[in-house]
Amino acid sequence: MNKHLRDQLIQRAVDAKKTSYSPYSKFRVGASILTSDGEIFSGCNVENASYGLAICAERNAVFQAAFAGKRKIVAVAVTSDEKAFITPCGACRQVLSEFADGNAEIILVSAAGKTKSVKFKKIFPTPPALEKLKK
Ligand SMILES: [Zn+2]
């Protein structure tokens, strides 16, 4: 991925964080994903008074891409207000694995804008797959 696209992906995650709806946890998260055709989709976390119904920023972004007909994710950026890097939760890793292979780049972005890239397979080495059932 070239630097311009990478910077754009990161910026979209940072922008998405600003729209976070997190009145209960006050934990704002923004995520963006790059699809194989070069489009970027982003999402924020959205909480609910019934806590379990909240959705993470990453899944929000993935579902928007899927709704737009995209089926291949090549990179993801995720950021929060934390000093440290945050990584996608288990549920988001599972959802990402539907559309991203192990070589997808996961860009972790700290609140200060520091970044760290990891391959998806490093944070989710053995995703359950139902390839035979896919049509
Ligand atoms: Zn999550």
| CATH number of domain containing 116 | 3.40.140.10
The pLDDT of residue 132 is 67
C-alpha triplet 57, 58, 62: angle, nearest 5°: 120
> What is the distance in A from the centroid of ligand 1 to the CA of 37?
24
Using an 8 Å Cβ cutoff, are 56 and 64 in contact?
no
Work out the pLDDT band at 37, boundaries 50, 70, 90: very high
Condensed to tens digits (0 to 9), the pLDDT of residues 81-106 reads 999 999 999 999 999 999 999 999 99
Q: Please state, rounded to an integer, the average pLDDT across all residues of the chain.
A: 96
> What is the distance in A from the centroid of ligand 1 to the CA of 132?
26
Q: Tell me 69's DSSP state.
A: T
Q: Does the annotation mark 98 as catalytic?
A: no
Using an 8 Å Cβ cutoff, are 28 and 47 in contact?
no
Amino acid in the structure at residue 84? A
The pLDDT of residue 131 is 72
pTM of the full structure = 0.94
Q: Spot the catalytic one: 58, 82, 105, 131.
A: 58
The domain of 50 spans: 3-133
Does residue 41 sit in helix, strand or coil? strand
Count the domains in the chain: 1
> What is the distance in A from the centroid of ligand 1 to the CA of 21?
14
> What is the distance in A from the centroid of ligand 1 to the CA of 15?
18
